[in-house]
Amino acid sequence: MFPKVISALCFSLWVNSCVVSSAEDLFMTRALKLMSETPLIDGHNDLPWQLRIQFNNELNKVDLNTLTTTHTNIPKIKMGRLGAQFWSAYVPCETQYKDAVRQTLEQIDVVHRMCQKYPETFMFATSSDDIMKAFNSSKTASLIGVEGGHSLDSSLGTLRTMYHLGVRYLTLTHSCNTPWADNWLVDTGSEPSEHNGLSPFGKQLVMEMNRLGMLIDLAHVTVAVMNQVLDMSAAPVIFSHSSAYSVCKHKRNVPDDVLKRVRVKEGIVMINFYNDYVTCSKTAKLSDVADHFDHIKNVGGAGIIGFGGDYDGVTRLPEGLEDVSKVPNLVAELLRRNWTDTEVKGALGDNLLRVLKKTEEVRDAQRSKKPDDVPIPYNEVENTCRTSYGYQISGAARPFSTLPLVLALVLQALITLTA
């Protein structure tokens, strides 16, 4: 009798296991189907920085098909169904006032060369149309985001030059203040505010980004900067790799009141996978990341959500999301949590495509507007590494007139009202 009971129990456990396994397989099958229809667009990946650190950007010494020391390589990209990637052109804050522009240009260059070396895998992209062209050709669209305003050396000319080289977003700060914007560490109390958010030149720069059609990335800035940009930008904003502050109270994350404003602005928060931003601890699981997706959906709606893994820029990743190949697991988890196909496709890529298209529309509406060529006041950037050519200085820095900014703001308001 006893052996029969054991046998029946084992059979029951086996059946239940098969049922669970079958259900999980269905979620994964559905996830992969959705990813075949809509490109997974990731907002932030630091592979270019790893190429700098590990190989000094000598791509001839690297094979991305066999590289094993990074979260990202070509086999992992294919397994992860990565449709489009914003590759980060990042250089550390210690380059500020030194060689930040050169170092950033070299990071932009390495992304271009990566696409040239592996044309069967990557297609360089600068627009919403390019993303879809690459996706329809079974290639990973490769866009560039510059991570940190210090990379500009406070120059609108440098901003424009980087746009012409293909840069499509700028993270206004990294983890240091610039001469025109405060970074997120100010909100922790570990650094003083220098500008109460954005300086007048910082506001000029935001409006020039609107004119160019460059996405404004609010990851790494203070809440004050977030709100100032939301007040003035005609285009939607992005958070390329940030999570929900209410789930993990880290100042790199986005508070609920800002999430609501992002919804009104029709922007996007691309959720970061770094354990410290997911659980505010050194460990995390895939389900913890999904909790951020659920929270942002509940507060701001499914239309403001995207993926911003921060692969190769972080040291700790959740169990189940250890590298780029694992992202379909998260998509399946969202489906398991009763996300609709439309909501999932929005998070995968449709939301970001909408944001990019709207930014392009704002750019196109301002085609007749002249580039802003009023430089930052010299006294705001004066240091031993900077010359003063072009500034009319006679014993003191030239005073800065706010009239051009006021006129530009009025013009922006008129454009917005007539759009």
Distance CA 123, CA 139 (A): 6
Which are the catalytic amino acids? 44, 46, 147, 174, 220, 241, 310
Q: Which two tokens stand for residue 252?
A: 């790199």
User: Exposed, middle or buried by CB within 10 Å (0-12, 13-18, 19+), for 5?
Assistant: exposed
Q: Which helix (H) or strand (E) holds 84?
A: strand 82-89
Q: Which two tokens stand for residue 215?
A: 């996405």
Q: Which two tokens stand for residue 42?
A: 């990731």
User: Exposed, middle or buried by CB within 10 Å (0-12, 13-18, 19+), for 39?
Assistant: buried
Distance CA 387, CA 208 (A): 24
Q: Which two tokens stand for residue 41?
A: 């667009």
Q: Which two tokens stand for residue 97?
A: 């006032």
User: Could you say which DSSP state residue 380 is in?
Assistant: G
Q: Which two tokens stand for residue 61?
A: 């010494």
Which amino acid type is present at position 416?
Answer: T
Q: What is the DSSP track for 18-37? A: HHHHHHHHHHHHHHHHHHHH
Residue for token digits 């560490």?
Answer: 185
β strands within 202-307, DSSP E:
215-217, 237-239, 268-271, 305-307
Distance CA 90, CA 72 (A): 16
Q: What is the DSSP track for 140-178? A: EEEEEEEE-GGGGTS-HHHHHHHHHTTEEEEES-SSS-B
